[in-house]
Structure 1
Amino acid sequence: MKQDIFGLTIEELQAALTAKGMKTFRAKQVFQWLYQKSVFDFSAMRNLSKADIALLEENFTVLPRRIAVLREQNSSDGLTSKLLLGLPDGNSVETVLMRHDYGCSVCVSSQVGCDMHCAFCASGLNGAVRNLSAAEIIAQVYLFNERLRGENTMVSRVVVMGSGEPMLNFDAVIGALDFLHREDTCLMSYRNMTISTCGIIPGIRRLAEQGKPINLAVSLHAVRSELRTSLMPVNKGFPFADVITAAEAYSEAGGRQVTYEYILLKDKNDSVQDAELLSNYLRFKHASVNLIPANPVPEQGFERPSRQRVERFLKILQKNRINATVRKEMGKDIDAACGQLRAKFAKEQEHK
């Protein structure tokens, strides 16, 4: 069996390569090719000898070369690209590149599927299959880095907001972010990283203990208990009021503003009453609200509110001095919602 070296630290890579007879300095060269130049084919690593390349090809593999792009969708404006990635074990995950005027960000998945079973989300239609490894999370970023190489740029921001609940795969997620933060890889600031959670309070507390200025986003989506429980079953174990308290403690510990994600669902959580209640819970908190008009998920039967109702909700929050914006929509024409592309692919495979 060949050893996959993707995601190893420089020290781990040195140990692996020298054990096969390579000189120590070669590990640094390979490391630079992988993580600074986003080159994953040993034969393209031009400062290695033919003998070294042959040794590498005989003994090692690199994960991004073992991942298949099963589907690719690009938005008509050229700003968003979504990939459905086939992992070596046959599972698949989605990842999305978004181009902004301040750089490129990637939304990564942390699990294959999701066990949160949020009523409006396609990611949890079939539950969670398994956690992703740190290397599999890192690879989602580097597959786009490889594509951006010709533009002489790299991904500068990462959002752990794809399929899965990051706090249920905490060690791998933090391991991946620490790796991307390294000076000899992406040199990505922790301030350019965001972890989104449905409200797993122990995970929020563990993140606070890390002492790293990582942005926290909380998927809230309702502030009426029965409604939130019907939309997000996680509310039974971690009631939203307790989640807000934990998030505020995280904010106070690190000085970082918490973002509350709020998907607006027609005639479900978009009323004047809902806007006033949300304002009451977040008043005087170091927080902002990101309003997200729902991407329709046909399997779940939810609709998007009218633009007028979205604007009404926003104005109520702003009137109550809550920092709120409506998310700029990207990739609306390419199955933008988490899990949609994977679910569509799975359905196609069933009918073959």
Structure 2
Amino acid sequence: MVELAKKSRSEDGSVRFVWRLEGGHEVESVLFRTTPTSFIQPAAQCGERRLDLPSGAVVCISSQAGCNVGCRFCATGLQPMRKNLSAEEISAQVFAAAREEGISGGIRVVFAGMGEPMLNYEPVRDAALRLAGHDDIRNVAISTMGIVPAIRRLAAEAPTVDLYVSLHAATDPLRTTLVPLNRKYPIEAVLAAATEFATSTGRRVDISYLLLRGINDSAGDARELAALLDPDLFTVKVLLWNEVAGLPFERVPDEHAVLFADWLADQGQPAYVIPSKARDVDAGCGQMITTEPSATRLRRVTSEFPRIDLGPVSVREGTR
């Protein structure tokens, strides 16, 4: 169902897989491990307020070859969407990765690789339910940029699956610039659907917030974000941007990410920082791409964010 085309091991132990699909398209997934000390929590979150975060093996998988959502900070968004994966192709990534690394049991699965899972809804739902019912799988989470009708369907059709919502901004003007999909599904609509998911399933929703230096990383941004969220329903997962050649963004220092989480906690909003994994093999969050970037898409981003001097862009060696 999927054929291993390339395997790379990071210095941190994470493993990047490039899978070749029938028809020649390629997608990526990454296997990494977390421990209780992998995550950084604000000092204000101690005692009963401290989050109980999971540890163990995680497989981050793809649902599409490429992506048409066009998030400005993501390498996959530079690659036009070529194929919706079948449920079999999606779930096969997990079992093939586990087999390659000799892992059985306790695996967590995250739909946060290439593509927008909710724009390939039925195969993603079917794969998620199949994985969630497997003895070797501990839990399954689907990450989305906010496809509102699909979030509502997921709550009804797959209530055993966790939901991650990628927000990345606290105001519609900024989020629309970073995530053009916001024009169709603005923040208020996305959070309303996420609230319905949390209340109907009894599962907290993780709000993914990617820090971009000088764009969405101020104390004011943290206050505005906390004001949007119900701390009883949402947890903020603070992420650091992983460099993508040619994109005009800057990574914040690790200590600033911790400070941002502190600002959220000071507002009563649970938060934690998840350190980047597999950056040195270009398999970190937002780095996945398997074909040459679209020149048109790249120009669009650099015209909107002309922040740094850009060098030549080429696809990573060995991904074609």
What TM-score does the superposition give when structure 1 sets the normalisation length? 0.74
Deviation at 1:299, TM superposition (A): 2.3
Sort the Cα spacing of 1:112 and 1:307 in 2 relative to 1 into closer, same or farther, 3 A.
same
Sort the Cα spacing of 1:348 and 1:231 in 2 relative to 1 into closer, same or farther, 3 A.
closer
For 1:41, the equivalent position in structure 2 comes to none
> Is 1:337 aligned with 2:285?
yes
Which range moves more in the overlay, 173-182 or 194-203?
173-182
Equivalent residues of 1:106, 1:157 under 8 A apart: yes
Distance 1:211 1:154 in 2: 21
For 1:217, the equivalent position in structure 2 comes to 164
For 1:276, the equivalent position in structure 2 comes to 223
Deviation at 1:306, TM superposition (A): 2.6
For 2:123, the equivalent position in structure 1 comes to 172
Deviation at 1:341, TM superposition (A): 4.9
Equivalent residues of 2:289, 2:315 under 8 A apart: no
Quick one: percent identity of the two aligned structures?
35
Query: Which among 59, 62, 68 is matched to residue 4 of structure 2?
Result: 68
> Is 1:133 aligned with 2:82?
no
For 1:5, the equivalent position in structure 2 comes to none
For 1:188, the equivalent position in structure 2 comes to 137
Equivalent residues of 2:244, 2:287 under 8 A apart: no
> Is 1:250 aligned with 2:197?
yes
Deviation at 1:88, TM superposition (A): 2.1
Q: Which one-letter code corresponds to 1:288 in the other structure?
A: T
Distance 1:307 1:187 in 2: 33
> Is 1:204 aligned with 2:151?
yes
Distance 2:111 2:145 in 1: 12
Instruction: Name the SS for the 2:280 alignment partner.
Output: coil
Sort the Cα spacing of 1:283 and 1:68 in 2 relative to 1 into closer, same or farther, 3 A.
closer
Max Rg structure: 1
Q: Which one-letter code corresponds to 2:286 in the other structure?
A: C
For 2:267, the equivalent position in structure 1 comes to 320
Q: Deviations over 1:69-93 (max 9, x none)?
A: 2x32211132x10111121211110
Equivalent residues of 1:94, 1:162 under 8 A apart: yes
Query: Which among 121, 124, 128 is matched to residue 77 of structure 2?
Result: 124
> Is 1:290 aligned with 2:237?
yes
Structure 1 stretches lacking a partner, 5+ long: 1-62
Distance 2:255 2:235 in 1: 21
Sort the Cα spacing of 1:307 and 1:338 in 2 relative to 1 into closer, same or farther, 3 A.
closer
Distance 2:71 2:288 in 1: 14
Q: CA RMSD in A?
A: 2.2
Deviation at 1:148, TM superposition (A): 3.5
Equivalent residues of 2:240, 2:275 under 8 A apart: no
For 1:144, the equivalent position in structure 2 comes to 97
Distance 1:343 1:259 in 2: 30
Structure 2 stretches lacking a partner, 5+ long: 36-54, 294-313
Q: Deviations over 1:23-73 (max 9, x none)?
A: xxxxxxxxxxxxxxxxxxxxxxxxxxxxxxxxxxxxxxxx24xx132x322
Distance 1:209 1:82 in 2: 33
- Residue-pair matches, total: 279
Sort the Cα spacing of 1:75 and 1:68 in 2 relative to 1 into closer, same or farther, 3 A.
closer
Which range moves more in the overlay, 334-343 or 240-249?
334-343
Distance 2:316 2:166 in 1: 30
Distance 1:255 1:348 in 2: 42
For 2:315, the equivalent position in structure 1 comes to 347
Query: Which among 163, 176, 181 is matched to residue 114 of structure 2?
Result: 163
Distance 1:277 1:162 in 2: 28
For 1:305, the equivalent position in structure 2 comes to 252
**Higher helix fraction (1 or 2):** 1
Higher RCO structure, 1 or 2 (CA under 8 Å, sep 6+): 2
Q: Which runs of 4+ in 1 moved over 6 A?
A: none
Distance 1:201 1:298 in 2: 31
Q: Which one-letter code corresponds to 1:202 in the other structure?
A: P
Instruction: Name the SS for the 2:222 alignment partner.
Output: helix
Deviation at 1:313, TM superposition (A): 1.5
Distance 1:146 1:85 in 2: 14
Distance 2:271 2:58 in 1: 21
For 2:48, the equivalent position in structure 1 comes to none
Instruction: Name the SS for the 1:347 alignment partner.
Output: coil
Distance 1:340 1:109 in 2: 9
> Is 1:265 aligned with 2:265?
no
Q: Which one-letter code corresponds to 1:215 in the other structure?
A: D
Sort the Cα spacing of 1:327 and 1:270 in 2 relative to 1 into closer, same or farther, 3 A.
same
Q: Which one-letter code corresponds to 1:188 in the other structure?
A: I
Distance 1:279 1:348 in 2: 38
Deviation at 1:307, TM superposition (A): 3.3
What TM-score does the superposition give when structure 2 sets the normalisation length? 0.81
Q: Which one-letter code corresponds to 1:76 in the other structure?
A: E
For 1:229, the equivalent position in structure 2 comes to 176
